[in-house]
Copies of this chain bind each other. A is one copy, B any other.
């Protein structure tokens, strides 16, 4: 009985981590032995809709790889409202890296927008893994280099497009995503009010 449960869990973990291994192998080599070393240092976690990976005041406990689902990162603004600064979906890493690296309290929330599953890499484990598998430095170098350029491009759109253009640009870039999150979250992310988005959508499609 105990044995069976253990076996099921082990298989389940290996299976649930396939998307991460696949993602890593897109960028750097990783032997099966190295992969099992990695698996020993991470854990898999189901996160219910509206549950938090991180809340303001806490130290960001992990670097999270989103296996599937959707998360939002937001802050509380000076007056009461929530400002979404980032969404994360399948195959993205998400964390407050300032809090994570320095192990200091965060000012952010990371919350599941829908039932999701993530792989958690804790700071200690990550430090050890970087020693054991130095190609992970290269992997994350590439991941962050891309994340950085993505944010620069996003800034370009924020500076150059009107609210309406921003909405349609986002809609064209991620057509399915628009259905997936509440409109008020999308409005916050795109930098305008839900009322304005409602007005834009009323005009055409």
Contact = CB atoms under 8 A, between A and B. Distances in A.
Contacts of A155: 85, 151, 154-155, 158
A98 B149 contact: yes
Number of identical protomers? 2
Nearest to A145: B144
B148 A141 contact: no
B83 A156 contact: yes
A162 to B, nearest CB: 12
A158 B161 CA distance: 14
A62 B58 CA distance: 40
Interface stretch (A15-23, A37-45, A47-55, A130-138): A130-138
A64 to B, nearest CB: 15
A194 interface: no
A166 to B, nearest CB: 12
Given A137-B138, A154-B155, 16 more contacts: A78-B160, A83-B160, A85-B152, A85-B156, A86-B152, A97-B148, A98-B149, A138-B141, A140-B141, A140-B145, A141-B144, A144-B148, A148-B151, A151-B151, A151-B152, A155-B158
25 contacts: A77-B160, A78-B160, A83-B156, A83-B159, A83-B160, A85-B155, A86-B152, A97-B145, A97-B149, A101-B145, A134-B134, A134-B137, A134-B138, A137-B137, A137-B141, A140-B141, A141-B141, A144-B147, A144-B148, A147-B148, A148-B148, A148-B151, A151-B155, A155-B155, A158-B158
Interface of A: 75, 77-78, 83, 85-86, 97-98, 101, 130, 134, 137-138, 140-141, 144-145, 147-149, 151-152, 154-156, 158-160, 188, 191
The 3 closest A-B pairs by CB, nearest first: A151-B151, A144-B144, A141-B141
